[in-house]
A = this chain, B = another copy of it.
Amino acid sequence: MLQAHPSGGAGQPNHAAIFAALGDETRLALVAKLSAGQPYSISRLTEGSHITRQAVTKHLRVLEEVGLVRSMRAGRESLFEFNPEPMEEVKEYLDLVSKQWDNALSRLKAFLED
């Protein structure tokens, strides 16, 4: 059977945690904005949002914990940039699940044609 990764320290892919981080409209919007390439400060990311800076900050920390974004201090502001690795990680996982499903269908088809 397809087995979920045991969850682990940094670098080890915790698929569920990554999905959970993406499972929020606000965070999904942040990822979309940051994946455009440019790093943004927290204030910048809060602009045009209906929620407070603190709320945005919390969401960014969630994204950072699973590695979807990285942050660096630049003077008085803290810049966030997108990091693609966790996303590739879950894409591979979803491909595995899809592949398992396709194989199952193929076997069923072969069985029925026999």
Chain A residues within CB distance 8 Å of chain B:
1-4, 7, 15-25, 27-29, 31-33, 35-38, 82, 84, 87-88, 90-91, 94-95, 97-98, 100-101, 103-105, 107-108
Report which of B19, B32, B38 forms a contact with A19, defined as CB distance below 8 A: B19
Cα distance, A3 to B33, chains bound together (Å):
9
Cα distance, A25 to B95, chains bound together (Å):
18
Q: How many copies does the complex hold?
A: 2
In the complex, what residues of B have CB within 8 A of residue A38's CB?
A: 104
Contact B32 A4 (CB under 8 A): yes
Contact A101 B88 (CB under 8 A): no
**Closest chain B CB from A31 CB (angstroms):** 7
Nearest CB in chain B to that of A88: its residue: B98
28 pairs, A vs B, C-beta closer than 8 Å: A1-B33, A2-B32, A4-B29, A15-B28, A16-B22, A16-B23, A16-B27, A16-B28, A19-B19, A19-B24, A20-B24, A21-B23, A23-B23, A31-B97, A35-B104, A36-B100, A36-B104, A37-B100, A37-B104, A38-B104, A82-B101, A87-B97, A87-B98, A88-B98, A90-B94, A91-B94, A91-B95, A94-B94
